[in-house]
Structures are given as C-alpha cells and as structure tokens.
Amino acid sequence: MVLTGLVTCKDAEEARKISLALVEKRLAACANIIPATESVYRWKGKVEKAQEALLVFKTRESLKERAMKEIERIHGYELPAIEFFEAKTGQRVKEWVWKETEL
C-alpha cells in the first residue's frame, strides 16, 4: 500500500532537510514542501499560533516506522506531528513508489 505522509516543520529549510534524507535513504519516493502554512494548536495548556511549512511525501506502508524514526531524528520539535494516510493512487504511481523505495 502507498501512504502519503504529512509533517509540519518549523520552516521550509527544515522540511527540505527532512525530505532530502527520506528520498536519499529511499524511505520516500518523493516529497513536496508547502513553504507557508499557519497552524493553530494547543500545547502545554495554551493555545498557540505559528507559521510553519508542510512536508508531504509518498512511501510504502512497510517503511512507515523507519520513516518516522528518520523524521524524529532530524526534526527540531519536541513532538513532531507525523501523520500517514492511505494514498489512492493509480497502478503506475504505485509501481513508481515501489521502484524508488526499494532498499
């Protein structure tokens, strides 16, 4: 199964650093960076607002845990928000993700 991963990052530079590591280590086939997004969240009892970047990437379900560990290793947040969703892709995209994430 192909998964889409989402990670909020402190800025586009951090998102770029994580995306390069994931793709270079074949833990993701591709990554997209949305450089500016506004986040509103509750943290340690307070409502916070922040400008962040959003990292979106494609991977295999079997690589999810390894990708999460790599993101956590690089990410600057105490608790990085890493989410995965099943990607409803066509067969050609699925084959491409499989090819590009062969370890």
Asked if 62 and 83 count as a contact pair (C-beta separation under 8 A), the reply is no
Domain that holds residue 87: 2-100
Helix (H, G, I), strand (E, B) or coil at 95: helix
Of 4, 18, 2, whose CA–CA distance to 62 is shortest?
2
- Has residue 68 got a pLDDT over 90? yes
Asked if 37 and 54 count as a contact pair (C-beta separation under 8 A), the reply is yes
Q: What pLDDT does residue 38 have?
A: 97
Q: What is the pTM of this model?
A: 0.94
CATH number at 33 reads 3.30.70.120
Q: What pLDDT does residue 103 have?
A: 78
Q: What pLDDT does residue 48 have?
A: 97
- Domain total for the chain? 1
Q: What pLDDT does residue 60 have?
A: 97
- Has residue 49 got a pLDDT over 90? yes
